[in-house]
Amino acid sequence: AQSVSQHNHHVILSEAASLELGCNYSYGGTVNLFWYVQYPGQHLQLLLKYFSGDPLVKGIKGFEAEFIKSKFSFNLRKPSVQWSDTAEYFCAVSGNEKLTFGTGTRLTIIP
Amino acid sequence: ETGVTQSPTHLIKTRGQQVTLRCSSQSGHNTVSWYQQALGQGPQFIFQYYREEENGRGNFPPRFSGLQFPNYSSELNVNALELDDSALYLCASSPPGGGANVLTFGAGSRLTVL
């Protein structure tokens, strides 16, 4: 069975700080990994995805994530956060026609 | 192109009642999936519909059922509502061959069960 763990439940940062959100997965097949963002009152949006190839993937709004197979990790990073990055972030793995999400990390950026 | 639209956006029901939630898929998409997002949790897969048939189901009881129509729109029905059914219900559609790798989510229907 596939599963995703996000250990940071709530992260509070000041603007311009660097961000790294942890994600570990468990899945026996070929791994497709995703980060989604849910801004307050808005729908889930895809930030970035990894299917194969370069393990460092770049997404929208300056986000990037690194797939480390040996650590079963897919951590999300951003060098300098903005107030507008305040949102809920979900890591997910796909398989068997479904996405399995982690419990999410709430990110609060203090101006 | 229009995205995924869901209705209603909010609704309140009481225990034991039945509810129907509706979803219009994005233009060109033929597969619809439903997810339940309880407060403080990540979305959980309920089921997927393709060619008007259920094509994969998560760990949800049979009182959760669905339909897909020839125009690819979909309904989620929940019978005998329980308090724990209170959640945001998300619909997502995907294009032919996309599966779970190319999902577009709607804004959701927030169900409160009293």
Contacts of B44 in chain A (CB under 8 A): 101
Q: Using an 8 Å Cβ cutoff, are B7 and B89 in contact?
A: no
**How far apart are the CA of B114 and the nearest CA of chain A, in angstroms?**
22
CB of A25 less than 8 A from some CB of B = no
How much is the average pLDDT of A11-17?
A: 97
Mean pLDDT, chain A, as a whole number? 94
- How far from chain centre, in Å, is Cα A73? 10
Percentage with pLDDT > 90 across chain A: 83
State the DSSP string of B80-109.
Answer: S--GGG-EEEEEEEE-TTTGGGS-EE---E
- Token code pair at residue A31: 């791994």
How much is the average pLDDT of A63-87?
A: 96
Q: Is A79 left (phi over 0), alpha (psi -120 to 50) or beta?
A: alpha
Identify the pLDDT of residue A41: 84
Greater pLDDT, A2 or B31: B31
- Find the closest chain A residue to B108 by CA distance: A43
B101: nearest Cα among B24, B2, B29, B4 = B29
**Coil, helix or strand at residue B69:** coil
**How far apart are the CA of B43 and the nearest CA of chain A, in angstroms?**
6
Q: Which of A6-15, B18-27, B94-103 has the lowest mean pLDDT?
A: B94-103
Identify the pLDDT of residue B89: 98
**How far apart are the CA of A108 and the nearest CA of chain B, in angstroms?**
15
Contacts of A97 in chain B (CB under 8 A): 33, 48, 55-56, 99-100
Contacts of B55 in chain A (CB under 8 A): 97
| Contact between chains at A42 and B58 (C-beta distance less than 8 A) | no
Q: Using an 8 Å Cβ cutoff, are B46 and B76 in contact?
A: yes
Kind of pairing between the strands at A56-58 and A64-68: antiparallel
User: At B1, is the pLDDT very low, low, confident or very high (cuts 50, 70, 90)?
Assistant: low
Identify the pLDDT of residue A2: 86
Is A12 a residue whose pLDDT tops 90?
Answer: yes
Identify the pLDDT of residue B73: 95
Beta strands in B1-108 (DSSP E): 5-7, 10-13, 19-24, 31-37, 44-50, 53-57, 64-68, 74-78, 87-94, 104-105
Residues 11-40 of B with CB under 8 A from A: 33, 35, 40
How much is the average pLDDT of B31-46?
A: 95
- Token code pair at residue B95: 């294009």
> Alpha-carbon torsion B95, B101, B102, B104, what sign?
positive
User: At B97, is the pLDDT very low, low, confident or very high (cuts 50, 70, 90)?
Assistant: confident
User: At B10, is the pLDDT very low, low, confident or very high (cuts 50, 70, 90)?
Assistant: very high
> Which of B42, B45, B99 has its CB closest to that of A103?
B42
Instruction: Give the span between the Cα atoms of B61 and B78, in whole angstroms.
Output: 10
- Find the closest chain A residue to B56 by CA distance: A97
Contacts of A43 in chain B (CB under 8 A): 3-4, 90, 105-108
| Contact between chains at B100 and A95 (C-beta distance less than 8 A) | yes
Identify the pLDDT of residue A92: 96
Kind of pairing between the strands at B64-68 and B53-57: unpaired
